[in-house]
Amino acid sequence: MKTTDKIIQLLKLQGPMTAKSLAAELALTTMGVRQHLQALEDDGDVTFEDRAEGRGRPARYWALTQSSNSHFVDRHDELTVQLITSVKTVFGEQGLEQLIAHREQASLTSYGQALMRVDDMEAKLGVLAKLRSDEGYMACVEVQQGVYWLLENHCPICAAASSCQNFCRSELQLFQTLFAGLASVTREEHIIEGARRCAYKLVPLAQ
């Protein structure tokens, strides 16, 4: 195991620690540990807090950031699939449909309120792309010869969508509802079908 990984593990298990304490645990020099901590800080995995402890200089305590979670086992995809299976088992397909419909309605309300604040098509798409990116979809907007594209380069619900493709159907319907009367919306590329991204094509309707 790399020294940086050992440091991350110690901070996870014991909470904030000083470089001196880490050095003692790892049988390294304090200077050596500080170099590893600096590398981890540069990567966004650790942060520090200086604490006054009596006389003298404050002690610097190092702690993990939220970003460090990527170093640990994450089974949320597996849990999501298990939950979908459980919903199907307990409540049937109709129960799952109600769950998806509720999610779609909640998103429609949230997105709709945000899009109401802007007028033109491109501005609305920009707002939607920002909202989707905040949710992990890495979305952006492109305009080609009067046709608009909402491009989503990542799917944070991929495991759920793979297990139940009605989630994807629901998202397409959501975008179609948001832009009803403004544009026709079709999905031209689909991550679940092996594409690199999901691409939504929006063709403005004649006014």
Across 30-182, where does the E strand assignment appear? 46-51, 59-64, 139-144, 147-152
- Which uninterrupted H or E stretch holds 198? strand 198-204
pLDDT of residue 160: 53
Q: What is the value of pTM for the model shown?
A: 0.58
Cβ within 8 Å of residue 176, ≥6 positions away: 185
Residue 95 token pair? 């129960």
Residue 73 token pair? 């086992």
Cβ within 8 Å of residue 54, ≥6 positions away: none
What is the four-CA torsion angle of 93, 99, 104, 106, rounded to 10 degrees?
170
Taking alpha carbons only, the member of 140, 126, 120 closest to residue 182 is 120
State the architecture of 3-71 in CATH terms: Orthogonal Bundle (1.10)
What pLDDT digit, counting tens, does each position of 179-188 carry?
999 999 999 9
State the architecture of 76-204 in CATH terms: 2-Layer Sandwich (3.30)
Residue 81 token pair? 């699939």
Q: For the chain, list residues with pLDDT below 70.
A: 73-81, 84, 156-167, 207
pLDDT of residue 171: 84
Cβ within 8 Å of residue 164, ≥6 positions away: 84, 96, 100
Residue 204 token pair? 């403005």
Strand pairing partners for 184? 203
Q: Where are the domains of the chain?
A: 3-71, 76-204
pLDDT of residue 86: 78
Residue 193 per-residue DSSP state: G
What pLDDT digit, counting tens, does each position of 53-104 carry?
878 889 999 999 888 877 875 555 665 667 767 777 877 878 777 877 787 8
